[in-house]
Amino acid sequence: MTIQEFQTVCSQLEQEYTAKIAAAADLNAVEELRVAALGRKGALTELLKNLKDFSIEDKKTAGPLGNALKAALTAALEDKTAALSAAALNEELNRVHLDLTLPGRPLARGKRHPLSIAQKRMTDILSSLGFTWAEGPWVEDERHNFDMLNIPLHHPARDAQDTFFAQTGSPLSMVLRTHTSNVQSRFMEKHQPPLRIMAPGRVFRNDSLDATHSPVFHQIEGLYVDENVSMADLKRDLSAFMKGLLGDKTEIRFRPSFFPFTEPSAEVDVKCVFCGGKGCNVCKGSGWIEMLGSGIVHPNVLKNCGINPEKYSGYAFGMGVERLAMMLVNINDIRTFYENDLRILKQF
Ligand code: DAH
Rounded CA gap, 246 and 106, in Å? 35
What number of H helices and E strands is found in the chain? 12, 10
Closest CA to 265 of 307, 228, 316: 316
State the DSSP string of 47-101. HHGGGGGS-HHHHHHHHHHHHHHHHHHHHHHHHHHHHHHHHHHHHHHHHS---TT
What residues does each domain of the chain span? 3-94, 114-345
181 CB under 6 A from ligand 1?
yes
Sign of CA dihedral 329, 335, 338, 344: negative
pLDDT in tens, the chain (348 residues): 899 998 999 999 999 999 999 999 999 999 999 999 999 999 999 988 988 899 999 899 999 999 999 999 999 999 999 999 999 899 888 888 888 899 989 888 888 999 999 999 999 999 999 999 999 999 999 999 999 999 988 888 787 778 999 988 888 899 999 999 999 999 999 999 999 999 999 999 999 999 888 999 999 999 999 999 999 999 999 999 999 999 999 999 999 999 999 999 999 999 988 888 898 887 889 999 999 999 999 999 999 999 999 999 999 999 999 988 988 888 889 999 999 898 888 888
Nearest CA to ligand 1 atom 4: 179
316 CB under 6 A from ligand 1?
yes
Nearest CA to ligand 1 atom 5: 318
Ligand 1 atom nearest to CA at 318:
8
271 CB under 6 A from ligand 1?
no
- Return the pLDDT at 168: 86
- Return the pLDDT at 332: 84
Nearest CA to ligand 1 atom 12: 317
- Return the pLDDT at 327: 83
Nearest CA to ligand 1 atom 8: 318
- Return the pLDDT at 240: 96
187 CB under 6 A from ligand 1?
no
Q: What pTM did the predictor assign?
A: 0.71
Architecture category of domain 114-345 in CATH: 2-Layer Sandwich (3.30)
